[in-house]
Amino acid sequence: KMGVLVGDCWEDRLVCRQWGAHFPHVSGIAGQSDYGAQSVVLSGGYEDDEDHGEWFLYTGSGGRDLSGNKRTNKQQSSDQKFTCANQALRLSCKKGYPVRVVRSHKEKRSNYAPETGVRYDGIYRIEKCWRKKGIQVTGAWIKLSYCCFVQHAFGFKFYDMITSFCCIRVLLSA
């Protein structure tokens, strides 16, 4: 087998990394602020995230105190900013760069997450980035939509109806 196909699954993010779908084994955003983002993982890390399958709202990274033994702190203690990985997503939004999307079984609130492991769900496009007050603090919000010129993991009617138009929306609000 060569390459990664939509719907490919792996037992965990380390194996996903070996296949090149998403490189960071902890961070949910792969990218550099000067070059853009390559991929994101939906893993239930922020309670403001919303997954609707062919589009989703993704809360950016940051705003948590991970010092000392707080590596897995789920509470946000400060506002997110458009720096580092969030800036990478914002740059991809401005330039129209698509991103790969991986979903994790850890996203318990989503009907689209795999039951186990992680799954590559295709190419999405960042439609919008903005800052917005969330449940805990002001966050970086991103809206991503499925890019319909490639195979879709869910086979929505949306994909079947569109023949020559590619649309991926990503909203980032911080």
Query: Is the CB of residue 54 less than 8 Å from the CB of residue 2?
Result: no
Indicate if the pLDDT at residue 84 is higher than 60: yes
Domains defined for the chain, CATH in brackets? 9-66+73-173 (2.30.280.10)
What percent of the chain clears pLDDT 70, i.e. is strictly above it? Answer: 67
**What pLDDT, on the 0 to 100 scale, is given for residue 78?**
60
Per-residue pLDDT, averaged over 148-165, amounts to: 41
Query: Is the CB of residue 121 less than 8 Å from the CB of residue 52?
Result: no
Per-residue pLDDT, averaged over 127-155, amounts to: 66
Query: Is the CB of residue 124 less than 8 Å from the CB of residue 142?
Result: no
Q: CA 114 to CA 41: how far, in whole Å?
A: 12
**What pLDDT, on the 0 to 100 scale, is given for residue 40?**
94
Indicate if the pLDDT at residue 44 is higher than 70: yes
Of 159 and 69, which is predicted with more confidence?
69
Indicate if the pLDDT at residue 135 is higher than 80: no
